[in-house]
Structure 1
Amino acid sequence: MENPVRDITNVIRQLTQGPPEIQSWAIDRYFTSDATFVHPFCRVWGKHGGRDGIKTIFQWYKMMSPEISLDVNSIAYDKDHLRLYVNISQVFSIWIVPFYRAPVTLTTVLDLTRDPGDGRPLPDANAQRYYIAKQEDLYQTSEFIKFVMPWGGSSLVMLWQTLATLFCLIGAYAYCAIARVLTIVFFPFSLSRDSGEPYGNRVKAGN
């Protein structure tokens, strides 16, 4: 890529929506030979031959979901650290599960480098080119559960999140109540008579 922000949308479409030969060509062209890939369900270590492992994963992904509808919502580029943040919405359908379509949103983090790592000639200083050294796909729990529980998974996650939130609220209120009772019982003179607040927390007027 010569301009990561401009080019990345087309690269993503080649990787996910292109035919197998275009997909393979894009991985060879844009990934380093020792690229790393991180996903909630799989990982390719950043070693020699990592690009071949990534190619296999994308091929399997394509076989599982031949037709993928995808939109790039936003792109952010950290130029100092050569890192791209791409927010993507896609509709994932698995051919072995008829009539199922999973709309999911994720953020893909791409670490870039100017060294392809495979002996390809580097462009001159006036034509810098960037390669993907690491791809990490970040999904919320309510999103990636759709891949393994087609029906009801997101609802279970939201129920769990709601219960966990209630537990946090109850725990916080209970802790504050117990702490106040213990303070009154064991340290009755540490509270201000007029405000009921610890003297250390009182702020003088005008400060």
Structure 2
Amino acid sequence: MDDPIQDCHSVVHTLCQGSPKEQEEAINTYFTPNASFTHPFCRTSSFDGSRLLIHSIFRWYKIMSPKIDLKINSVAFDEVNLILYINISQVFAIWFVPFHRSPVTLTTMLHLTQPPNSRKYYIKSQNDLYQVDQFVRFFAPWGLGDAVVLFWQFWATIFCTILAVIFAPFAWLEQSYAEKRTTRAESRFMGFVERVEEKRMRGFGYGKGNAADGVAETAGQVANGVKSGIIEHGEAKRLMDSGAEGGGAAQDQGQQQQFGNMQVIRPN
């Protein structure tokens, strides 16, 4: 794709509504040979030739429902991370299942890549994101799936409300701990809770804490330098101030890159 925001419309319509030959050509043109595909009911990993599996998935999709009504609601492009978000509404009807009709809305997340010395964008992964009440319509049509999910969500909300009331003292303790108004025993208990949570967070994403650890380590080194007389107090203040300014600038720049480069359009 030369322009993902503009070109994605024709790509999506061809993949979902084109003839089998047009669908095949679109996959070969816009997907990398090692592209991956993720859906609530199927997935591929990324390996040499994995695009062949994507061909099979889209081919079966076309066999089940040769005619699909489809509308692109909105498109957003994260230029920094090369991620294209496409919100789609479609009506999927399996022709050999009597009275089957599944109107669903999903957000397709396309991870793009640009080969070296090329201005074109290619799809290296597709991830179709459905809310629970949407994907159940594929196997529980006629409103049955919607009713089950609605019942489940209703009772989950009631359950959350009851537990929020029962455990209100814990929420009060959290607030008191944040405001440093707890007793020694309460502080020990909340410290234990924080350690448990920290270990679990590090277990799932240890790398995310490295930056904060690095800042703390640097601050400690500056403090030790002041104590030993190696670094003057004025120099330490300058280092800390410049570090704070640099950190703030980096944060602002990161936000600008993340959100300032996000392009959003709503098709007519």
TM-score, normalised by the number of residues in structure 2:
0.62
In structure 2, the residue matched to 1:149 is 140
Measured against aligned partners, the alpha-carbon deviations of 1:49-94 in whole angstroms (never above 9, x if no partner) come to 1111000000000001111000000000000111100000000101
Show the 5 A alignment for 1:3-82. Answer: 3-82=3-82
1:179 to 1:34, Cα distance in 2 relative to 1, 3 A: closer
Measure how far apart 1:102 and its partner are: 1.1
1:79 to 1:178, Cα distance in 2 relative to 1, 3 A: closer
Which of the pair is proportionally richer in strand? 1
Secondary structure at the counterpart of residue 200 of structure 1 = coil
How many pairs align?
Answer: 176
* 1:129 and 2:120 correspond: yes
Which range moves more in the overlay, 143-152 or 21-30? 143-152
Q: Which runs of 5+ in 1 are unaligned?
A: 116-121, 184-197, 202-207
In structure 2, the residue matched to 1:158 is 150
Matched to 2:123, the amino acid is I
In structure 2, the residue matched to 1:114 is 114
Distance (whole Å) between structure 1 residues aligned to residue 171 and residue 3 of structure 2 = 57
Distance (whole Å) between structure 2 residues aligned to residue 177 and residue 85 of structure 1 = 41
Secondary structure at the counterpart of residue 133 of structure 1 = strand
Q: CA RMSD in A?
A: 2.1
Measure how far apart 1:199 and its partner are: 9.7
Using the aligned pairs only, state the percent identity.
48
Measure how far apart 1:176 and its partner are: 2.2
Measure how far apart 1:177 and its partner are: 6.5
1:178 to 1:48, Cα distance in 2 relative to 1, 3 A: closer
1:177 to 1:200, Cα distance in 2 relative to 1, 3 A: closer
Which of the pair is proportionally richer in helix? 2
* 1:168 and 2:160 correspond: yes
1:95 to 1:179, Cα distance in 2 relative to 1, 3 A: closer
Task: Provide runs of 4+ in structure 1 moved above 4 Å.
Answer: 177-180
Secondary structure at the counterpart of residue 167 of structure 2 = helix
Distance (whole Å) between structure 2 residues aligned to residue 32 and residue 94 of structure 1 = 29
